[in-house]
């Protein structure tokens, strides 16, 4: 039978931020790859990017499967 | 007979009697025949004639009744229903409860017809690519079969970070097609806010009849209308279902669908994060290297070197200026000193008492010096001031001084 666990708002938020973090990482890689920003900006982005990889890694390593059951009611 | 009496009855009364007779005398029927003149009215009701070589009977299938395939003329079907009378036209007909194909051949026929129909409508041309990193996975399937367990365990093993949304639906039987369709619509509502969502619609393997819901129009339509890319995962080896054709992607088993949506699984994501970290470090290092080289280049550049030379030049000039300034100052000071000495000697010579050093004397009357223009008189009391002494005298006589003496002096 299904393991059903209610989907808490917090979990959804962390999912959302994981997606956003991955997207942000991709953006940062692109900017750093171009390298045409001010060096102070690049250094800040580098730091932000490295922090994001740590956060994403932590999220992935601690992730547990979340299952929501949506009731199938035909309207 | 009782009925043929002189008392006449109305058409409606007669019809009521016939209706009662048919309902009570025959009632529920199960009939095998061939469909003819099939017509789906816009109201949703379906009208057709069921016939064999010698006879035919009108049938009606109300819109509220679900059927799992698309009937068409010439198809042999088995209907169940009850015999009724359509009083308005004085016709009897079968009010159908169910309509099923009479055999597998009929199912294939229905399948081919629906397939052709949907192909004509362009239902098979919508092929969207799945998100690269699906994070929200909607599943429409039976909540009790092995399929859901297989999918959940695959998803959990490979991508536990994904959020799973299950919309339970029966996957075979009379209501399967409607439940699957409404499950797809429901998950579309729930997942509409996410970019990285994907739907899996499927079930484990079974006979053609078992899988039939996936060959029905409601399911095909729901998949076609899904805003979320949809994977059809009906367990079968060789055959395709209509759902397979309509879905964006088709796989042969539910587990294969779970594997497909977790291609970028937890471990490849961790690897990706590693490579991103390396990329970031490489990028920032090359940026720093770039600037460091730029600085070195500037340092060794002609302009910078020239500036250095110019600075040396200036400093030399300053040194030179300093030393000549010193010399000039010394010279000026020497000159000024000589001048000062001369002035001092001169000044000293001009002091009223200086002639005393050379033997001259000064005459005073009281405290007042007697000037050269004054004349002395006899008996004047005067003081004769010399270099080292003062003598007091009284004038005896006064005579004008001869002129030549003055000139000689």
- Nearest Cα residue to B118 out of B35, B251, B241, B249: B241
Q: Is A15 on the interface with B (CB under 8 A)?
A: yes
The answer, yes or no, to whether residue A9 has pLDDT greater than 50, is no
Average pLDDT, integer, range B149-177: 91
Over range B52-68, report the average pLDDT.
88
Partner A contacted by B155 (CB < 8 A): yes
Whole-number Cα distances in Å, B190 to A72, B185, B258: 11, 9, 20
Task: Report the sign of the C-alpha dihedral through residues B7, B8, B9, B10, in that order.
Answer: negative
Name the pLDDT band for B2 (thresholds 50, 70, 90). Answer: low
Per cent of chain B over pLDDT 90 is 45
B216-248 residue pLDDT tens: 899 999 999 999 999 999 987 667 899 999 999
The answer for B15, left when phi > 0, alpha when psi is -120 to 50, beta otherwise, is: alpha
Q: Write the residue in B155, B277, B291 that is nearest to A65 by C-beta.
A: B155
* A38 touching B (Cβ < 8 Å): no
Q: What pLDDT is attached to residue A15?
A: 53
A67 and B133 in contact by Cβ < 8 A? no
The DSSP bridge pattern shows strands B381-385 and B362-365 to be antiparallel
Query: pTM of this prediction?
Result: 0.60
Contacts of B161 in chain A (CB under 8 A): 15, 18, 59-60, 63
- The percent of residues in chain B predicted with pLDDT above 70, rounded, is 96
Q: Report chain A's mean pLDDT, rounded to a whole number.
A: 78
Integer angstrom CA distances of residue B144 from B14, B147, B151, B169, B201 = 54, 8, 12, 10, 15
Name the pLDDT band for A65 (thresholds 50, 70, 90): confident
- Write out pLDDT tens, residues B114-154: 999 999 999 999 999 999 889 999 999 999 989 999 999 99
Encoded tokens for B266: 């937890």
**How many residues make up chain A in this entry?**
75
**pLDDT for the residue numbered B185:** 96
Q: Judge: A7–B163 Cβ closer than 8 Å, yes or no.
A: yes
Is there a contact between B52 and B34 (Cβ–Cβ < 8 Å)?
Answer: yes
Judge: A70–B148 Cβ closer than 8 Å, yes or no: no
Partner residue opposite B182 with nearest CB, options A18, A69, A74: A74
Give SS3 for B289. Answer: helix
Interface test with A, best of B138, B161, B168, B288 (most A CBs within 10 A): B161
């Amino acid at each position: 039978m299904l393991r059903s666990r209610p989907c808490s708002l917090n979990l959804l938020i962390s999912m959302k931020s994981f997606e956003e973090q991955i997207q942000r990482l991709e953006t940062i890689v692109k900017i750093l790859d171009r390298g045409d920003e001010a060096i102070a900006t690049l250094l800040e982005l580098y730091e932000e990017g490295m922090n994001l990889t740590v956060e994403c890694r932590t999220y992935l390593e601690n992730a547990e499967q979340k299952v929501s059951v949506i009731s199938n009611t035909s309207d | 007979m009782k009925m043929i009496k002189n008392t006449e009855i109305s058409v409606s009364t007669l019809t009521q009697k016939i209706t009662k007779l048919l309902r009570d005398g025959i009632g529920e029927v199960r009939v095998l025949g061939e469909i003819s003149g099939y017509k789906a009215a816009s109201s949703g009701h379906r009208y057709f004639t069921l016939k064999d070589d010698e006879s035919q009977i009108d049938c009606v299938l109300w819109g509220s009744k679900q059927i799992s395939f698309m009937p068409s003329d010439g198809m042999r079907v088995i209907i169940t229903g009850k015999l009724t009378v359509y009083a308005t036209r004085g016709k009897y007909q079968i009010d159908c409860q169910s309509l099923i194909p009479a055999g597998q051949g009929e199912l294939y026929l229905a399948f081919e017809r629906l397939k052709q129909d949907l192909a004509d409508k362009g239902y098979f041309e919508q092929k969207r690519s799945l998100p690269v990193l699906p994070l929200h996975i909607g599943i429409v399937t039976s909540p009790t079969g092995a399929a859901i367990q297989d999918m959940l365990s695959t998803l959990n093993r490979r991508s536990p970070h994904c959020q799973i949304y299950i919309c339970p639906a029966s996957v075979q039987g009379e209501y399967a097609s409607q439940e699957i369709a409404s499950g797809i619509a429901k998950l579309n509502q729930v997942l509409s806010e996410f970019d990285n969502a994907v739907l899996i619609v499927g079930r484990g393997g079974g006979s053609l009849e078992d899988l039939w819901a996936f060959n029905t129009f409601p399911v095909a339509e729901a998949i076609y209308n899904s805003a979320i890319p949809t994977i059809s995962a009906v367990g079968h080896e060789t055959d395709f279902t209509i759902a397979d054709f309509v879905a964006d992607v088709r796989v042969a088993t539910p587990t294969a669908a779970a594997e497909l949506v977790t291609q970028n699984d937890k471990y490849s994501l961790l690897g990706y994060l590693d490579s991103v970290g390396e990329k970031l470090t490489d990028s920032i290092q090359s940026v720093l290297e770039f600037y460091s080289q730029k600085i070195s280049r500037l340092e060794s550049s002609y302009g910078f070197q020239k500036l250095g030379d110019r600075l040396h030049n200036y400093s030399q000039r300053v040194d030179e200026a300093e030393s000549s300034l010193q010399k000039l100052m010394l010279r000026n000071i020497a000159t000024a000193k000589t001048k000062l000495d001369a002035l001092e000697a001169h000044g000293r010579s001009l002091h009223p008492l200086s002639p005393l050093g050379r033997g001259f004397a000064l005459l005073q009357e009281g405290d007042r010096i007697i000037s050269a223009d004054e004349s002395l008189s006899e008996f004047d009391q005067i003081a004769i001031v010399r270099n080292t002494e003062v003598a007091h005298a009284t004038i005896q006589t006064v005579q004008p001084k001869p002129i030549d003496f003055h000139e000689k002096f």
